[in-house]
């Protein structure tokens, strides 16, 4: 073996481990962390500060602005766990640039996120305002869609309604047996109990009574949900019957079976996050999830509205999401488009066929939007509907009276609208407006499930996720052009 070997650059592990490293010297000048340190203090964080104005006692809390920057930066780089954030504050140079020597522990970070969950809605609007000032919101095409985000709930901590009855019976039987045993040995143990009263529940019995109470609560939740669905179905039937009677038509066929308000045997609820629901995932499986909704502007993929629902499908989300988008735009002082005569100009709103209902189309029209909603998939070998003369253009111009377009249903009019050249162009853009946004959140940043539990907390976390998406878009466009 030859004694010759390659010369390496010098390395002194002991010396390196004792060196003090400055984040400002080690990190790039245009790093995201410095951008956030410059931008966040300029935003209105009054909602965060209001909480501490009512608490004048106790130790001084960590600086509110520092904690906001810490959470925003952590979510922006895909670090969402409070324990991982606390660890990064000790070991990661960018996190050290935020917290310095005073590193908050994971419980402080977790509590701050929970205490200020409502304040993230205001911060979302503040970031949207910055995007609007930078000309990144053009309102040429607002695209609405939803994605299933996993809930912080285990499938193993769930139970069906049918199994609950069996489990309740089993637990009641065991509790009765344990109570009988306790009564039999109570007299024998009186002398050995000392100062204790002797009527404390044994640990084994306490565990069973606690579990019995949890199952009873879960069963009550399922029964309440089933009753709400039954009431909704009965209201729908009553409305249809009223329409038939008003039109003088008789009901055809057999009478529908009475509405059943009892839960199905397979209806499930979760014990760790009862508000999460079983939803179909993109991999064709099912898991406890929430339906995270977003409305995205086409120009720079800025999210203008972010909400969460427990409903697995999107049928009822078009109008609420449009209302949220308009409200956020107005709060962010972003001017809505107008025609030359000063009247409001309808904003194009593209949605997939999961949102289509006649009520959704009418509701979006009333809000001043120009809906472009797919009405369904074209079947194999199905001839496309021809575009009729006199069909209204996408700008919602009424059809001329007496034309074939005037007699069409809302669904047929929407089909004609999407088959026009302008309608095709607008709807085709939907794929590269909103779907990449969910890909950037889930794929690039690795945020595929929520850490918080409960609809209210999850909705706040989704706004935090979406506002960090907007901040990343602002930073990547021009991190030096920060409006004052």
Specify whether 376 is located in the same domain as 289. yes
Domain that holds residue 218: 155-184+200-239+259-271
User: Measured over all CA atoms, what is the biggest interatomic distance in the chain, rounded to whole angstroms?
Assistant: 105
In a domain, 22, yes or no: yes
Residue 248 maps to a domain: no
pLDDT at position 484 is 44
Does residue 474 lie in a domain region?
A: no
Q: What is the pLDDT of residues 367-408, one digit of tens each?
A: 999 999 998 775 545 555 555 544 454 444 555 555 555 557
Task: Examine the domain organization and report whether 430 and 396 are in the same domain.
Answer: yes
Q: What is the dihedral of CA 126, 130, 131, 133, to 10 degrees?
A: 130
Whether 127 maps to a domain, the answer reads no
pTM of this prediction?
0.79
pLDDT digits (tens, 9 = 90+) for 193-219: 555 555 555 666 666 676 667 666 666
pLDDT 10s digits, 261-270: 776 666 666 6
Contacts 24+ apart (CB under 8 A), 352-358: 352/145, 352/314, 352/430, 353/377, 354/146, 354/313, 354/314, 354/315, 355/144, 355/314, 355/315, 355/317, 355/318, 356/411, 356/414, 357/315, 357/316, 357/318, 358/410, 358/411
148 and 160 co-located in one domain: no
For the segment 113-128, what is each residue's pLDDT rounded down to a tens digit?
A: 999 999 999 999 999 9
In a domain, 253, yes or no: no
Q: Cα angle vertex 288, ends 356, 210, to 5°?
A: 135
Asked if residue 108 and residue 140 are part of one domain, the reply reads: no
Q: Could you tell me if 226 and 282 lie in one domain? A: no
pLDDT value at position 177?
67
- Say yes or no: 92 and 169 in one domain: no
Residue 123 is assigned to a structural domain of this protein:
no
In a shared domain, residues 34 and 149: no
In percent, the amount of the chain with pLDDT more than 70 equals: 74
Given pLDDT bands bounded at 50, 70 and 90, which one contains residue 253? confident
Question: Token digits for 5?
Answer: 């070997």
Where do the DSSP E strands lie in 167-313? 268-270, 277-280, 286-297, 302-309
Q: What DSSP assignment string belongs to 130-147?
A: HHHHTT----S-EEEEEE
Is residue 146 located within the same domain as residue 161? no
Query: Are 229 and 289 members of one domain?
Result: no
* Coil, helix or strand at residue 371: strand
pLDDT tens, residue by residue, 133-153: 999 999 999 999 999 999 988
Same domain, 147 and 159: no
pLDDT at 295 over 90: yes
In a domain, 252, yes or no: no
Q: HSE, CB side, 13 Å, CA atoms: give it for residue 416.
A: 21
If residue 373 lies in a helix (H) or strand (E), which one and from where to where? strand 369-373
Q: Which of 66-75, 245-254, 312-321 has the lowest mean pLDDT?
A: 245-254
Degrees, nearest 5: CA angle 45-463-218: 120
pLDDT of 394 = 44
- The reply to whether 87 and 173 lie within a common domain is no
> What's the total number of domains in the chain?
3
Q: Is residue 246 part of a domain?
A: no
Let me know whether 345 and 302 are in one domain.
Answer: yes
């Amino acid at each position: 073996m030859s004694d010759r070997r390659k010369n390496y650059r010098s390395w002194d592990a002991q010396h390196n481990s004792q060196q003090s490293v400055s984040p400002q010297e080690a990190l790039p000048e245009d790093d995201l962390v410095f951008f956030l340190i410059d931008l966040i203090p300029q935003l209105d964080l009054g909602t965060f500060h209001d909480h501490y104005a009512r608490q004048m006692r106790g130790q001084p809390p960590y600086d509110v602005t520092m904690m906001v920057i810490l959470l925003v930066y952590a979510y922006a780089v895909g670090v969402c766990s409070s324990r991982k954030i606390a660890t990064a504050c000790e070991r990661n140079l960018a996190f050290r640039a935020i917290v310095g020597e005073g590193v908050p522990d994971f419980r402080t970070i977790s509590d701050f996120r929970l205490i200020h969950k409502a304040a993230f809605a205001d911060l979302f609007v503040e970031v949207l305002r910055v995007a609007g000032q930078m000309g990144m919101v053009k309102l040429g095409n607002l695209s609405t869609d939803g994605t299933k985000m996993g809930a912080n709930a285990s499938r193993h901590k769930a139970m069906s309604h049918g199994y609950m009855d069996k489990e309740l019976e089993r637990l009641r039987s065991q509790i009765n047996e344990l109570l009988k045993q306790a009564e039999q040995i109570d007299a024998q143990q009186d002398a050995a109990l000392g100062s204790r009263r002797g009527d404390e529940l044994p640990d084994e019995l306490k565990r069973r009574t606690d579990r019995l109470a949890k199952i009873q609560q879960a069963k009550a939740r399922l029964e309440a949900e089933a009753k709400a669905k039954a009431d909704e179905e009965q209201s729908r039937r009553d409305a249809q019957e009223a329409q038939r009677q008003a039109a003088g038509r008789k009901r055809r066929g057999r009478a529908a079976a009475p509405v059943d308000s009892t839960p199905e045997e397979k209806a499930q609820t979760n014990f760790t996050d009862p508000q999460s629901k079983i939803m179909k995932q993109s991999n064709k499986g099912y898991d406890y999830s929430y339906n995270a909704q977003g409305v995205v502007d086409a120009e720079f993929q800025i999210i203008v509205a972010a909400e969460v629902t427990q409903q697995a499908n999107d049928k009822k989300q078009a109008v609420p999401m449009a209302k949220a988008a308009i409200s956020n735009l107005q709060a962010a002082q972003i001017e809505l488009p107008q025609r030359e005569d000063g009247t409001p100009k309808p904003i194009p709103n593209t949605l997939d066929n999961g949102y289509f209902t006649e009520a959704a189309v009418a509701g979006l029209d009333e809000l001043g939007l120009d809906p472009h909603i797919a009405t369904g998939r074209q079947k194999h070998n199905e001839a496309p509907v021809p575009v009729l003369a006199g069909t209204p253009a996408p700008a919602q111009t009424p059809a001329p009276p007496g034309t074939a377009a005037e007699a069409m249903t809302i669904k047929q009019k929407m089909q004609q609208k999407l088959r026009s050249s302008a309608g095709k162009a607008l709807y085709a853009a939907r794929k590269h407006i909103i779907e990449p946004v969910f890909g950037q959140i889930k794929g690039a940043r690795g945020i595929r499930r929520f850490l918080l539990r409960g609809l209210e907390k999850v909705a706040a976390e989704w706004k935090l996720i979406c506002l960090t998406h907007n901040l990343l878009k602002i930073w990547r466009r021009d991190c030096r052009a920060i409006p004052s």
